[in-house]
Chains A and B, each alone.
Chain A
Amino acid sequence: DIQLTQSPSFLSASVGDRVTITCRASQGISSYLAWYQQKPGKAPKLLIYAASTLQSGVPSRFSGSGSGTEFTLTISSLQPEDFATYYCQQLNSYPSLTFGGGTKVEIK
């Protein structure tokens, strides 16, 4: 199975900060990586798929990059509504469409 390791697992930041979250895969997954945002009590929301394609309706301050085994999610200027937990997911191969462990972004 492909394992995904997110770092950091916790991040404290201020409104307006540039934030970067990393997701590392245990083996190459081409560009088949997605990023989700989840707020407490809510379902995850798709932000980015295919490593760098912004889902329709998602603000342009979110961006994704990477391929192979290393990927990043960047929020260019953190907004109050961005405080949430972020997950990566690999969709390259079965048997399991693995999620990363999550990164919680909190207000400093």
Chain B
Amino acid sequence: QVQLQESGPGLVKPSGTLSLTCAVSGGSISSSNWWSWVRQPPGKGLEWIGEIYHSGSTNYNPSLKSRVTISVDKSKNQFSLKLSSVTAADTAVYYCARRIAAAGKAFDIWGQGTMVTVSS
């Protein structure tokens, strides 16, 4: 079955750019799914960051839109997150997740999550 695995640096300097990749295995990133990023600051709730379709179409959370870029690499069957101008408030566990592109569908598959700390 489809599995997701996040990877990337666990420590990012303030004002730098956070870069993460989500590798998709057991299925094609070109299937009819939206691929999302969700984050969770320590001890807090979930925040949807944004999503991408294999065509490259994206949707972003307005609160982060000016700093976020999500891209897809179909040749590597993966998608990526870049978050610029990071501060300590961006310290969180970052998850990638899949949502089937059909009405009413939700995030049915999640990666295990990766902790990113913003600190000098």
Contacts and interface: CB of A to CB of B under 8 A. Distances in A.
Interface of A: 1, 31-32, 34, 36, 38, 42-46, 49-50, 53, 55, 87, 89, 91, 94-102
5 contacts: A42-B112, A44-B107, A49-B104, A95-B59, A95-B60
B107 A46 contact: yes
B104 A44 contact: no
B interface bracket (residues with beta carbon within 8 Å of A): 20 to 34
Query: Which secondary structure dominates where chain A touches chain B?
Result: loop
A30 to B, nearest CB: 9
A101 B106 CA distance: 17
Interface string B28-47: 00000000101000000111
B103 to A, nearest CB: 8
B95 A43 contact: yes
Given A31-B104, A49-B104, A89-B106, A97 B46 contact: no
Contact of B62 (A42, A87, A96, A99): A96
B45 to A, nearest CB: 5
Given A43-B113, A96-B63, A91 B45 contact: no
Contacts of A53: 104
